[in-house]
Structures are given as structure tokens and as C-alpha cells.
Structure 1
Amino acid sequence: MLTRVARLYGTRDLRVETHDSPDPGPGEVRLRMAAGGICGSDLHYYQDGGFGPVRVREPIIAGHEASGIVETVGSGASHLAPGMLVAVNPSQPCGQCRFCDLGQTIHCLSMRFMGSAMRLPHEQGMFRDRLTVPAIQCHPVAKGVTPAEAACSEPLAVCLHAVAQAGDLSGASVLVTGAGPIGLLTVAAARHAGAGRIVVTDLSDAALGRAPAMGADETINVARDPAGLSPYEKDKGLFDVVFECSAAAPALRSVFAVIQPRGTLVQLGVTGDMSFPLNALVSKEIVWRGSQRFDREFALAVDLISRRAIDVRPIITHSLPLASAVEAFEQAGDRSVACKVQLTFDEAG
């Protein structure tokens, strides 16, 4: 069966074209895709041809956060039935390498991650009308949950994993730098984990305006108020935990002044090389942890969204049809108005 896809050929060269969608084999299902969110990495591929050492080296179907409706079920996929709305986990660890054996599947040596240009050949993504995928990667969502909400399961899982890296947040004072989709979902995940006061910084009033709905107590526009964080420098720093989601050098440097000694800094934002105050890291005995992707948190994200224990709807700002994929990517790059931009999949669109 032929289906439309959004395929990226290079910087700002995104084309909607046709691609074959095979029938499902044993243990597989074919989905009629419903909604797909444009992630920061998708945007980097589109705007810059990649990020850091990861470059688009061959045509790639973008998209790794999506939901779909089960259309055809292969043998052995008994937990799914036609008509079900599911969130699709884009991770496909091998289950056999030494990291999988250790239970560290995030670091699988043969990880396949949909829509990723990390390996050659690239792993093709989910921005397409139909997708045939192993049934084990499909997580049913509750009735009443929209496809747009279900498609937020992947980014929420990223943030749940990051919050887990920080340990017990009960009553903790938390700073989140960067109020994009990941920053805002981190706020929601930290609030759900029992954080005390949560402060969010960004350069954009539009981005910060969404933070209270996700659980923030205070927002600071550090472009307009560069000294806005200075009260938190008191007594060697007042934040127990910082989630750095911006990958901006000024934001990272400011963190070391406001985090308390032996505080925990969880790094979600990614970029190339940058400088940071090593002396502060050492003298304050700061725990600086990287956090990437997720594992069991995907199922947790689907559950939280299904129960609306975490409400993702405030971050969803734009929805455009697959035929308007270029417009959607351009919209996603305008942080003055956009947060989470999603594609919808309707063959008539």
C-alpha cells in the first residue's frame, strides 16, 4: 500500500512524497497515523542538517513522537485491536548486547530509534499516513484522550526519565532553564514528583507564559531581566535541583551560581562544545548528570496522560496537515508563538 511521507533530503529540503507501507507480519500492526509532534531534533535536522556530530547523510522520514489508530493486526498481536488509539514507542533496543543485559537499554549498542540520523542507514520515522511497526511498541491510551495528547507520550517520557535522575524531589526547590516543550514537560514531571518551588527561565515571554499551567511557581525572562536569578545566589545558591533544558551557554553558566553545594544538575539540552565554570562544579561538589531518552518511562507517560495526571494540552499550540509539513516545520521554528507543533494525517489533507 502506498502512503504519503514527509522525507527530509537536506537543510530545509523537506518533501511530501509516496512510500510503500507493507502489510503487517507476525507480531506487527499497521497503524493509520493520527498525530505527530515536531521535536527539537527534527527541527535541527531541518534547519541545520543535524546537531553536534549527528548529521543527515541520506534522505530520512522524520518524526519520533506520534500516535496512530490500529488498522490491521498481524498474528500474535492479541493485545491490540482495530480502532484502538495507541502511542508509539520509537525505541527498539536489541535486547542482546551487554547494556541490554545490564538493564541499561537506553545505551543499547544496536539501538534503533525511529527518525534518527545517528546511524547509517538512518532509522526512518513516523511522519507518514501509515506505519507498520512491531506491536510491542504500541501502547493503548484511554478513551477520551486525543491523538494530540497521545503523541506527547514520547517527550513526556524523556522528562520523566530526567526527573528520575534527580532522585527524590519531595519539597525540593527546582530551577528549569528553557521553557520549550521539554522544559515545560519537565516542570510538569517535577511537580508530579512532589517538587516544592519551581522557577523557570527563558528568553521568551510567550514560552514563559505557558509555564504556570504546567506547574511553575515563578518565571523569569532573563533577556529582559538578566539579574532576575541573582536573589537565588544567596548563601552559595538556593536550588536543590536544576534541570538544564536550553543548551545555552549563558544559562548553563548561571546555573552554577544558583545551585546549592552538593545540588544536582540534570542536563537535558544538547549542543556542541561549550565552556563552563569548572571551579564552581568542583568547589560546590555539584552532581552533574546527563539524561537522554527513556526506558520504562514511556509506559508511565502513557498512563499519566491517559489519566490526565499530567495534562499535556497546554503545550500543544499548532496542528497542521501532512501536506503542509514545510509550513509546520517553519512554524515550529518560531518560538515567539509556537511550542509543540504537530502534524495530522488525513489522506484527504
Structure 2
Amino acid sequence: MDDNLTAILYKVNDLRLENRPIPEPKDDEVLLEMHCVGICGSDVHYLVRGAIGDFVVKEPMIMGHEASGVVKKLGKNVTNLKPGDRVAIEPGVPCRKCDFCKGGKYNLCPDIIFCATPPCHGNLARYYTHAADFCFKLPDHVSMEEGALLEPLSVGVHACRQANVTLGSTILVTGAGPIGLVSVIAAKAMGASKVIITDMVPYRLELAKSIGADGVLLIEKNDSEKALVEKVTSAFGGSPTVCIECSGAESCIRLSILAVKSGGTIVLVGLGPPEVKVPLVNACTREVEIKGVFRYANDYPLALELVASGKVDVKKLITHNYKLEETLQAYETAKTGQGNPVKVMIHCNKGK
């Protein structure tokens, strides 16, 4: 056990594979032999820009946060897991002591340690240590790939819970990237009667239909705002009760506000420019509720139940697979979009 090949981002467009020492688990941690690590849009953003908002890569950072692994060694206080357990890794470990943590919103903890968010290291390596209580044992019939996909699925689950999605909800999802797609999956599983998703890329809309979207709207560059609102209301036969905005684009935020039903809810999942121009008076006079979405809290168990029960199929999101040794090629695929990637999965175990 001396091979700990690790993917490290040194600076913009400088990603390297290096052998690092195998870490020892602390008292409340487990040592994991990593299995699957998905590439997220935020990972690519750090690669090409070196920062997301106030999170700036100032020192070499290990990449990866959408992950699953196998328990190899226990810290002395760990009782919930045993060696050999296959687990999904919730990548954010909060302080557990602040008001946010005690109130159940630990995703807002100011001292959270979140994988591959500067200055915290991620888990794209052969071996990695993590807090045992943020590792979720996978049933035998749930694959390691599905375990890694619980991370983006939890974002979709959290977005739907923020929007109070329930039986009969009608939902517009803007942006058919991975998070838009998992939002469709989560919304349908939570009882939405009609989910329609928008995008400018036809193949993503085709995938959306295959994973449960009731309808798709192809957005053209020359569509006017008024025309887009009319497209949405025509597709729904009225106005949707919920809009889940997953693109971060100002135009889509505006569309969500203008298209949602009066008294409805918008959740903003996609992160775009730090400031945007929106029709705020329109939202206020129609009592449109606007909520933010930041990661997730207490959503992993529900996401795991959705997958384990067979209610949702996330495996269709995986379009490309690479070995850990091929990490640089994997990131190139995710960065360039060559081959129409949706979810790129890296397999860290030897012999995959």
C-alpha cells in the first residue's frame, strides 16, 4: 500500500499527477481506498480560472469531491463503519458546533471543510481520509458510480426541498447541465406532475427526456425575452409553480422570474456573475419567492434512498470513463466539451 497517485492543481491549467504519502485517519475518520470520482463544473472552473468567487487557489490543491470509496482503516473512535464497507462520501464536513450546524443548515457553516474548495484538499487520489459520519454505506446493489453521483443528486434534492416541490408541482428547469438534469430527476421522484427543461444544446435536451423530463424547450440565441416567456406558458398551459435555475445566466434568472406563477418559487442553483439585473418589482408585486441554493444539508440519505429504491436512474448521466492515470485527459474532455460530455467519471482503483 505505497501507491497514492494524486491529482493536484498547482495553478491555472497546471494539473499534475503525483505520488503522495498515504494519510493516517484521525480518531473520527476512516482511510478510504478511492473508487470513483466525478468531475464537476466547479473543478473545471478552478482549472481554467483558478477561482470561484472568493475561493481562490493560492497553493497546490488536490482535486475531486464527487466520490465513493472502500473503507480500509478505522480511526479509534469509529463505530458506524468497518473495513470493506463501500461508501459514498459527502464532501463537506462542518464544525457541528455553530448555530448553523445546530439548526440543521450545516451547509452554511463558516468553518466547513469542503473537498477541493480552497484551501481544502479534495479526494481525487488512490487513498484519502474522511470523517466517518459523513460517509454513507452503500447497499450491495448500488454501484460505486452511483455512490459518486449522490453528490450532484443531493444538490438537485436540496433545490427541490428549498422550492417545496410536492405532488402536483409544475416545474421549469433552466439549464440542462448535470445539475439541471439531477434537478429533473429529483423533482419527478418527489412528485412533480410536469417538469420542462430548457437549454441551447439539443443533445442535452435529448438526455433530459430520457431521464424523465416531460418536455424540453430549445432556446435560440435570437429569442426575445417575451417570446421565451410565451414559449414557457404555452408548454405548461399556464405558468409553472416553481422555477429551478441551474445555468447562472442573467437571461435565465430573468426568464424564471417572469415566467413563474404569481406566488410561486424560484430557486437559484447556478452561479454566474456576482451581480445581475433582474425585474425585482415584477417579482415583489406578484409575491414571487426567490431562494438561494448552496450545496446541500441532510440530503445525502434521501438521495441514497432514491437511488437504492430504484426510483431514479443516475447512471445515464455518465458519458465518459477514465482511469486515475488518465486524469489529465479526463479534465481535457470536461474542459473542451469534445465528445459531448455530461458527467466524466474517473476510476481510482487499480485495474479498472
TM-score bracket, shorter-length normalisation? over 0.9
Q: Which residue of 2 aligns with 1:42?
A: 43
TM-score (structure 2 length as normaliser)? 0.92
Q: Does 1:144 align with 2:145?
A: no
Distance across 2 between alignment mates of 1:184 and 1:224? 21
Q: Which residue of 1 aligns with 2:112?
A: 111
Distance across 2 between alignment mates of 1:339 and 1:252? 22
Distance across 2 between alignment mates of 1:25 and 1:50? 29
| Aligned counterpart in structure 2 of residue 158 of structure 1, from 145, 155, 159 | 155
**SS of alignment partner, residue 30 of structure 1:** strand
Q: Is the 8 A contact 1:160 1:297 kept in 2?
A: yes
Distance across 1 between alignment mates of 2:314 and 2:111? 31
Q: Is the 8 A contact 2:189 2:306 kept in 1?
A: no
Q: Is the 8 A contact 1:237 1:257 kept in 2?
A: no
Q: Does 1:174 align with 2:171?
A: yes
Q: Which residue of 2 aligns with 1:20?
A: 21
For 1:255-298, what per-residue CA distance to the aligned partner results, in whole angstroms no more than 9, with x for missing partners? 22311111100100012222222232223221010011111101
Output the amino acid matched with 2:348.
F
Alignment of 1:104-253 (within 5 A): 104-117=105-118, 122-223=119-220, 226=223, 227=227, 229-233=229-233, 238-253=239-254
Unaligned runs of 5+ in 1: none
Output the amino acid matched with 2:344.
V
TM-superposed deviation, 1:89: 1.1
Assess, with a 3 A threshold, how the Cα gap between structure 1 residues 237 and 84 changes in structure 2: closer, same or farther: same
TM-superposed deviation, 1:32: 0.9
Assess, with a 3 A threshold, how the Cα gap between structure 1 residues 232 and 134 changes in structure 2: closer, same or farther: closer
Q: Is the 8 A contact 2:93 2:131 kept in 1?
A: no
| Aligned counterpart in structure 2 of residue 317 of structure 1, from 316, 319, 330 | 319
Output the amino acid matched with 2:232.
Y
Q: Is the 8 A contact 1:237 1:259 kept in 2?
A: no
Alignment of 1:69-80 (within 5 A): 69-80=70-81
Assess, with a 3 A threshold, how the Cα gap between structure 1 residues 57 and 326 changes in structure 2: closer, same or farther: same
Higher deviation after alignment, 306-315 or 169-178? 306-315
**SS of alignment partner, residue 174 of structure 1:** strand
Output the amino acid matched with 2:117.
S
Higher deviation after alignment, 79-88 or 312-321? 79-88
**SS of alignment partner, residue 216 of structure 1:** coil
Q: Is the 8 A contact 1:94 1:110 kept in 2?
A: yes
User: Which of structure 1's runs of 4+ aligned residues deviate more than 6 A?
Assistant: none
Q: What percentage of residue pairs aligned between the two structures are identical? A: 34
Q: Which residue of 2 aligns with 1:346?
A: 349
Q: Which residue of 1 aligns with 2:59?
A: 58
**SS of alignment partner, residue 34 of structure 1:** strand
Q: Which residue of 2 aligns with 1:10?
A: 11
Output the amino acid matched with 2:45.
H
Count how many residue pairs are aligned between Structure 1 and Structure 2: 345
Q: Is the 8 A contact 2:96 2:102 kept in 1?
A: yes
Output the amino acid matched with 1:36.
V
Q: Is the 8 A contact 1:236 1:260 kept in 2?
A: no
